[in-house]
Structure 1
């Protein structure tokens, strides 16, 4: 059988020792008699068997000349090293070896009779291309580097796969183009550079067996199982898809078995939950946790003894248990991690912390059913792989956080950081449910916080509804005026009676706007403009020339989206938008300070002004650190924040297109309540009928009147503090006194009773004037009236 049968290669292979014999011809002229004599012996042998020089391609002949080939290669294959070196003569990139060292023979024999030696890590097409790059180097001088590591994968006596890297010595071979080999030009070379994956182009330039290979290569093999195992671990962790594959854990077992040389070991993982101080099982990849005996979650202090806890969580160092049964007896079964291992029939184990600069993220657990297989010496082999595991866990945690955030965004909308932990807990449960029961749709847990104190405040544009109506009336009056002038111009040329009727209708609309403007008046006018006026104007634009300029001017003033003039309303809307933007910016800046003092829930809304809700309490912070001093501090902060918004508004009133006033109010609610996130509305609301009273007051109080009057409790230039309990009154009078000492509030404090609201009685209010201060740092203070006089002046 010929070597070249069933091989697709640009080389026709011919095992020849000519290059080696040329070396011996040189040595035969050596001054060293021993060297000279040995060389002459080799050359004499070669003369007896000329096929050794001319080349052999028949397997049977190679087997027949096995003894002579061994003599020829004795200097290269030192008999003294044959039991140590993993070495063979061979053909490059093929699985045919001869003159194999004893150690190589033993390794292959141990693998079993069913084992077939085969080069790994390179597809057949890449072998073909690799051979072509060798030809480019040998025959044309192009230094095209396409070297890839090639290796054998051979099981040892324990069944553990071991990796042997192959390196070739090509000193004793040559490559010669055949007569039909296409000549490779510079253009061919450049084309090949851009077509690595196009095997047909390579075969076109290098047809099968178009070059002659004469010689042999020396294959030196090295056991690189540790390095390859580390590489496999790295690859498995880097490729995201592997981590979610059901075979991922089994693959991980195999590479760790190769790394540590233990066929029976198993791998487990447990993730550290910093917030709950627990170890959790990793459900996503189907991995067991031997530390917590495969339950869902366990407190760290319940899973570890004091020493192992400190070792893993504080020192972040590995430790091993080489004999679990012995350790169990010594600890009398009281060491939790030893008891867990003993219960599962584990005899030796290693626990390795997966940690970065931010702290512990999880535990890698390696266990064996035999004592002493895993020990402190074995543990040192993990040093090279742990950085990759740490990186993979970091990435996995980031991806889980992103996924959790995505679920929260989908289920709940944007969440304030102070309560995000609660949503993350629910999202984690959501994920676990989806992994455990993939065929059932998981439900998102109820999100609620109990015993929290509410705070509400608003800075509202005073008389915004009247201002908006006034702007609307001005726009409509302007539009009616323009229409009237155009109709008057048209009627001078086209003296049609209908124009008198149209003018009569316009005068009626103008009168209604000024004296009896209703909710539906605007819509009636918009309909009238669209159905009666616009068709008429378009007709005159097409048929007549005399009103063209006036009509085009009219349409240029119409807002294309609204179909009406939008001038005064735009100034109003722009002013409201700018007020909201500026006030929100002030409040957001102040909120950063407040959150740094003590975490609490915060949300704000833009209406005709800015409203904000806050909730503070133990169930939100989850740190067992809440004290009412933080509530009192937040109440004082809220008053100061209201002052800063008011002061900023009036100091920057020249920025606004129209002049408006604002009124500030806070609502005090003395009792703690419960809040619940409403999934349908994507927002927090009070929970329970008792707590609903707070929401009723919050929605209606700014429209409340002072008892016995028609005066609203909110007033421009004043801060209104609405409450119901005497203790609240005394508390807020202290805050007012403090702010008076800072020249923030005036001395005109009023204590007022409010008229009853629907379903709510007994409300009172403190009201006090602001003292405004220049924001450029000057010590100039103003009452509201002083400030208005200066602005007008």
Structure 2
């Protein structure tokens, strides 16, 4: 078979020893008789077998002339060094070698019969272009630095990967253009050096088989497994250290196996938490901690003995355990780190501290199920890789701290993503001022001018009454239980003091049902804890027959509050569920709204969910704001409020207590300024005029319809409060649109509000919602229909 078959290359390859033989022709005239005699020996072989000088491309020639080729190459492949040198003759860019040294043969034999020799970092698609670059050098004198280090990856008999760097000697090669090969001009060269990846261009300038390659190359190889393993560890850690990708962890383990020359090892990590002096597991796919085993976290003093604690945390030195069983047998105290290794069937290990100038960050754990394979000798190999691991862990901890900060910011402050850029700008200014040692460096006030506000709320109707009712039921339940126990105690052991206590309990019960006041809950709760509890503890000791009743009483009492918390818990849980579900829906819909046009958004959980939005040029940081985006956001808000109502009432059966909610939107016609209050870590309106907006927000949901005692917010209806005629016209258009979509009913009301303190002239639109039946948009029913359905 011909070497050039099935290969696309600018070369036609012909193996020839002519260039080497020409050197021997020069050596015939050497002063040294031994050198001259050896040259005559080589030339005699060539004269008897002219094909070796003329060249050949058939693979069969390598076999038929194997001894002759070996004879010609004897000086380059010294038989005295063949057991040590990793060397072979080869063809450029092809995974075909001949006349290998004995050491190279042994390496390939250890790799197994199925192993195929292949240059690791020689991309197939670039082979053609690299060959063309060589032609530019050899034939046209253009000095192109195309050299790259090439490697073989070859496993040993244990499956441990070794890396061999290849150095080529091309002294015995010739490259010649064939007749008709396009001549490369300076203009061609200038075009080619800017188009390395344009394979079609290179093939145009260097058509396939347009040049002849004659000769061979010598490949000298060196085992660089340690250096390459260290490089791979460095590269891997630069990319990732947290272990989100299982392939990364598997590769990382393989790298350590190559570094230590051991297939049986596994790698683990334990992160160190300075604040609690404890180790904790690294969160990620497949990351093990052999110190913690199945624990998520453990105090260092529980995971280590005194000596190992001092070695790792104080001295920051690594240590090894070469034989776990022997270490356990020698020590009666069973050191915890040795014991936990034995529990996992680990028989040798290396523990190395990962530390920087600020102290310990974690522990690198290398373990094996075989004794003695890990020891203090091969532990020294970690010296070269620990700096990279320390750097990566340091970066990982910084990233984790940044992530935690981001979560805190998202969950615990009001710095919304839409305005975050403004805080970044001010922070940069503040840091610059500090760097320049400006003593007056301050974090300046952050304001946004000319923004349009939007406010909405979905609130629990009659929340105070509902909670008071739950409180009454809980306290009455506890008082009645107390009365029954006191009565039984009096029947068995008539003590006048118990009669007086029972009288007081009865009086509290009467007051609860006839005259419940704000301070009633506090007063009765204190009495039950401070007076009744000690009495019942005494009764339990002195009247054995009442012990079950006393135990039942205390079992019904909440351990944290000291009182019965049953109906109130149902109420509180319901409000929490309302808040959580409504907030989740609002947050989900907000993602869509931000895509429409960026704006500030914040929400608050009270007895329901409130939200603020601000939209305007100063928030977006771009000259793109148009009033159309404000109108779009108002319509979006109205639609989402309707959807939140629908979701609540359809899921009402899942709530512990039946509560009603009512929705309201406040429309403010004029733009205003908002500023971030550093002390409260939230945004608020700026200026006296703008404060009117905040006053209305706080009071309007409690307002009455003018001339009546009816609140403007009502269950089953959405209320839109405004003051300007143009706002009324705008929202009437939105309502008609949603009526056409069967979202709102045809009972639109135009109402006036009673004057609020300092605020007059407010009006409202109020309209009933239509609730979807089983999420089927073709079937709707009113709030009254809904309540009837729920009641039945």
CA distance in 2, matches of 1:414, 1:18: 80
Change (3 A) 1:296 1:41: same
Kindly provide the CA deviation profile for residues 107-152 of structure 1, in whole angstroms up to 9, marking residues without a partner as x: 1111111111111112101222222221111111111112221111
> Within 5 A, what are the aligned runs for 1:398-477?
398-413=398-413
Kindly provide the CA deviation profile for residues 342-365 of structure 1, in whole angstroms up to 9, marking residues without a partner as x: 111111100011111111111110
Q: Which residue of 1 aligns with 2:83?
A: 83
Could you list the structure 1 runs, at least 4 aligned residues long, displaced by more than 6 angstroms after superposition. Answer: 561-564, 604-610
CA distance in 1, matches of 2:284, 2:28: 70
**How far 1:609 sits from its partner (Å)?**
11
**How far 1:283 sits from its partner (Å)?**
2.2
CA distance in 2, matches of 1:22, 1:238: 51
> Within 5 A, what are the aligned runs for 1:597-608?
603=680
Q: Which residue of 2 aligns with 1:169?
A: 169
CA distance in 2, matches of 1:195, 1:241: 36
CA distance in 1, matches of 2:309, 2:242: 31
**How far 1:384 sits from its partner (Å)?**
1.4
**How far 1:99 sits from its partner (Å)?**
0.8
Structure 2 residue 108 is matched with structure 1 residue 108: yes
**How far 1:242 sits from its partner (Å)?**
8.6
Q: Is the 8 A contact 1:88 1:218 kept in 2?
A: yes
**How far 1:379 sits from its partner (Å)?**
1.0
CA distance in 2, matches of 1:238, 1:142: 36
Q: Which residue of 2 aligns with 1:230?
A: 230
Q: Is the 8 A contact 2:163 2:228 kept in 1?
A: yes
**How far 1:31 sits from its partner (Å)?**
2.1
> Within 5 A, what are the aligned runs for 1:557-706?
603=680
**How far 1:285 sits from its partner (Å)?**
3.5
> Within 5 A, what are the aligned runs for 1:257-336?
257-336=257-336
Q: Is the 8 A contact 2:243 2:283 kept in 1?
A: no
Kindly provide the CA deviation profile for residues 307-338 of structure 1, in whole angstroms up to 9, marking residues without a partner as x: 11111112211111111111112222531111
Q: Which residue of 2 aligns with 1:458?
A: none
Q: Which residue of 1 aligns with 2:73?
A: 73
Change (3 A) 1:606 1:157: closer
Structure 2 residue 211 is matched with structure 1 residue 214: no
CA distance in 1, matches of 2:670, 2:364: 68
TM-score, normalization by structure 1: 0.53
**How far 1:87 sits from its partner (Å)?**
0.6
State the SS of the aligned residue for 2:291. Answer: coil
CA distance in 1, matches of 2:114, 2:681: 73
Kindly provide the CA deviation profile for residues 184-238 of structure 1, in whole angstroms up to 9, marking residues without a partner as x: 1222222222212222222222222211111111101111111111122122211
CA distance in 2, matches of 1:242, 1:148: 31
Change (3 A) 1:294 1:189: farther
Kindly provide the CA deviation profile for residues 235-272 of structure 1, in whole angstroms up to 9, marking residues without a partner as x: 22112399421222211111111110111000011111
Kindly provide the CA deviation profile for residues 617-663 of structure 1, in whole angstroms up to 9, marking residues without a partner as x: xxxxxxxxxxxxxxxxxxxxxxxxxxxxxxxxxxxxxxxx9xxxxxx
Q: Which residue of 1 aligns with 2:256?
A: 256
CA distance in 2, matches of 1:168, 1:286: 41
Q: Which residue of 1 aligns with 2:644?
A: none
**How far 1:180 sits from its partner (Å)?**
2.6
Change (3 A) 1:49 1:284: same
Q: Is the 8 A contact 1:320 1:351 kept in 2?
A: yes
Q: Is the 8 A contact 2:241 2:392 kept in 1?
A: no
CA distance in 2, matches of 1:180, 1:339: 78
**How far 1:563 sits from its partner (Å)?**
7.5
CA distance in 1, matches of 2:387, 2:204: 46
Structure 2 residue 347 is matched with structure 1 residue 347: yes
**How far 1:71 sits from its partner (Å)?**
0.7
Structure 2 residue 245 is matched with structure 1 residue 245: yes
CA distance in 1, matches of 2:65, 2:389: 52
Q: Is the 8 A contact 1:11 1:209 kept in 2?
A: yes
Q: Is the 8 A contact 2:271 2:282 kept in 1?
A: yes
Between stretches 212-221 and 178-187, larger displacement belongs to 178-187
Q: Which residue of 2 aligns with 1:183?
A: 183
Q: Tell me, which stretches of 5 or more residues in structure 2 are unaligned?
A: 416-580, 585-667, 689-697, 699-792
**How far 1:82 sits from its partner (Å)?**
0.7
State the SS of the aligned residue for 2:129. Answer: helix
Between stretches 210-219 and 128-137, larger displacement belongs to 128-137
Change (3 A) 1:241 1:389: closer
Kindly provide the CA deviation profile for residues 34-71 of structure 1, in whole angstroms up to 9, marking residues without a partner as x: 22222112112211111111101100012111100111
CA distance in 2, matches of 1:261, 1:44: 47
Kindly provide the CA deviation profile for residues 764-785 of structure 1, in whole angstroms up to 9, marking residues without a partner as x: xxxxxxxxxxxxxxxxxxxxxx
**How far 1:603 sits from its partner (Å)?**
4.8
Q: Is the 8 A contact 1:20 1:172 kept in 2?
A: yes
Structure 2 residue 15 is matched with structure 1 residue 44: no
Q: Is the 8 A contact 1:347 1:369 kept in 2?
A: yes
CA distance in 1, matches of 2:125, 2:243: 29
Between stretches 344-353 and 34-43, larger displacement belongs to 34-43
Q: Which residue of 1 aligns with 2:142?
A: 142
CA distance in 2, matches of 1:292, 1:241: 19
CA distance in 2, matches of 1:367, 1:80: 41
**How far 1:414 sits from its partner (Å)?**
5.9
Change (3 A) 1:353 1:242: closer
**How far 1:605 sits from its partner (Å)?**
7.6
Q: Is the 8 A contact 2:413 2:682 kept in 1?
A: no
> Within 5 A, what are the aligned runs for 1:540-555?
none
Structure 2 residue 392 is matched with structure 1 residue 392: yes
Change (3 A) 1:294 1:414: farther
CA distance in 2, matches of 1:410, 1:3: 65
State the SS of the aligned residue for 2:377. Answer: helix
Change (3 A) 1:146 1:609: closer
State the SS of the aligned residue for 2:80. Answer: helix
Query: What root-mean-square deviation, in Å, do the aligned CA atoms of Structure 1 and Structure 2 show?
Result: 2.9
CA distance in 2, matches of 1:285, 1:94: 39
Structure 2 residue 128 is matched with structure 1 residue 128: yes
Q: Which residue of 1 aligns with 2:732?
A: none
Q: Is the 8 A contact 1:248 1:285 kept in 2?
A: no
CA distance in 2, matches of 1:172, 1:138: 13
Structure 2 residue 333 is matched with structure 1 residue 337: no
**How far 1:84 sits from its partner (Å)?**
0.7
Q: Is the 8 A contact 1:15 1:57 kept in 2?
A: yes
State the SS of the aligned residue for 1:26. Answer: helix
CA distance in 1, matches of 2:669, 2:115: 82
Change (3 A) 1:606 1:186: closer
Change (3 A) 1:122 1:310: same
State the SS of the aligned residue for 2:167. Answer: strand
State the SS of the aligned residue for 1:287. Answer: coil
Q: Is the 8 A contact 1:92 1:168 kept in 2?
A: no
CA distance in 2, matches of 1:161, 1:261: 8
Q: Is the 8 A contact 1:14 1:56 kept in 2?
A: yes
CA distance in 2, matches of 1:603, 1:335: 51
State the SS of the aligned residue for 1:80. Answer: coil
**How far 1:179 sits from its partner (Å)?**
1.5
CA distance in 2, matches of 1:223, 1:290: 32
Kindly provide the CA deviation profile for residues 153-204 of structure 1, in whole angstroms up to 9, marking residues without a partner as x: 1111111111111110011111111113221122222222221222222222
Between stretches 153-162 and 14-23, larger displacement belongs to 153-162
Q: Is the 8 A contact 2:12 2:213 kept in 1?
A: yes
Q: Which residue of 2 aligns with 1:376?
A: 376
Change (3 A) 1:128 1:242: farther
CA distance in 2, matches of 1:609, 1:76: 87
